[in-house]
Amino acid sequence: MPSKEEIVGLIPAAGEGTRLYPFSRAVPKEMYPILGKAVIEHAVENLREAGIEKIFIIVGHQKGSIMDYIGDGSFFGVKVSYLYQMKRKGLGHAVLQAKEWIDTTFTVLLGDSFIEPKNEAKNLIKIHEKERPLATILLFKVKDPTTYGIAKIKDMKDHYGTITDLIEKPTLKQAISYKVNGDYYAICGMYVFEPEIFGYIEKTKPDKKGEIQLTDAIMNAIKNGEKVMGVVLRGAYMDIGKWQTVLNVEKYMLKMNRLGNIIREREKVMK
């Protein structure tokens, strides 16, 4: 098990990806190529840029190609181990699979989340280490709060503050009280946790679909008096689990002139 000083990474990648059918019936959504790199490779790079060397990836049914692609992680400069989620029972349940393997601070980055620049994880960890909460969550501004998990924040300063409430996919009427300075802030798939979060996940009841939601576990922790911080993303976030955002990611990368860098990286490997 990792030492207390070592921060490890956790990438949940066991989701079914129904919103990307029929593509995801044959290929995991985490394997969708963004300018020559699978989405999950971008996730690994995010964690590596934060100085994280040991990463656990949660896989499940029909996710073997992820293991083939990432392997033991040495090609990408990290050490990767795999944990298996037997049944898809929600993000909270997926994270709980790592309980017996993680006893230190850890960073969770969803395998289908695209976040740029790749120093956002480093910034998130820096604030977490400064504030020492149970959890620190990366947030981004949205115009429509009805399709995201929305955070209520107080004492916002220097792009971060304390989260006092969370709500999943609220109605516009419900969301009004969650506005901060006229903006809505949504969860965007990157978190830093202390291992005590596992206890809250274990006590979280399944929702109507029989799934254990990570947001519910965090909310239970807040109600119990735990400190949870929210950090506003300064770059770009896109959910690869939706067709309408997949092409936007590639457009963004081309706009940022990242294609040339990726081509040069691949050419070095071929030599």
Domain of 124, CATH number, reads 3.90.550.10
Q: What are the C-alpha distances in Å from 224 to residues 107, 211, 229? A: 22, 22, 15
Q: Which uninterrupted H or E stretch holds 255?
A: helix 243-255
**Intra-chain end-to-end CA distance of the chain, in Å:** 37
Provide, rounded to the nearest whole percent, the portion of the chain with pLDDT above 70: 86
Domain contains 57: yes
Question: For residue 215, what are its two tokens?
Answer: 């947001």
Assess whether pLDDT exceeds 50 at residue 270.
no
257 pLDDT band, cuts 50/70/90, is low
Domain contains 24: yes
pLDDT, mean of residues 193-218: 96
Assess whether pLDDT exceeds 50 at residue 3.
no
Assess whether pLDDT exceeds 50 at residue 170.
yes
Q: Give the contacts of 50 (CB within 8 A, at least 6 positions apart).
A: 7, 9, 107, 119, 121, 122, 124, 125
Domain contains 61: yes
Query: How far apart are the C-alpha atoms of 109 and 93, rounded to whole Å?
Result: 15
Q: List, in sequence order, every beta strand (DSSP E) within 63-172.
A: 79-84, 106-109, 113-116, 135-142, 149-157, 160-168
Domain contains 87: yes
Assess whether pLDDT exceeds 90 at residue 211.
yes
Domain contains 198: yes
Assess whether pLDDT exceeds 90 at residue 140.
yes
Query: How far apart are the C-alpha atoms of 249 and 267, rounded to whole Å?
Result: 23
Question: 171 is in which domain, residue-wise?
Answer: 8-270
Domain contains 140: yes
pLDDT for 102: 97
Assess whether pLDDT exceeds 60 at residue 4.
no
The pLDDT tens digits of the residues spanning 6-23 come to 899 999 998 765 666 666
pLDDT, mean of residues 159-168: 95
Domain contains 3: no
* 138, 114 contact by CB (below 8 A): no
The total of structural domains in the chain comes to 1
Assess whether pLDDT exceeds 70 at residue 134.
yes
**pTM value surpassing 0.75:** yes
What's the sign of the alpha-carbon dihedral 151, 153, 158, 160?
negative
- The identity of residue 208, as a single letter, is K
Average pLDDT, the chain: 88
Domain contains 228: yes
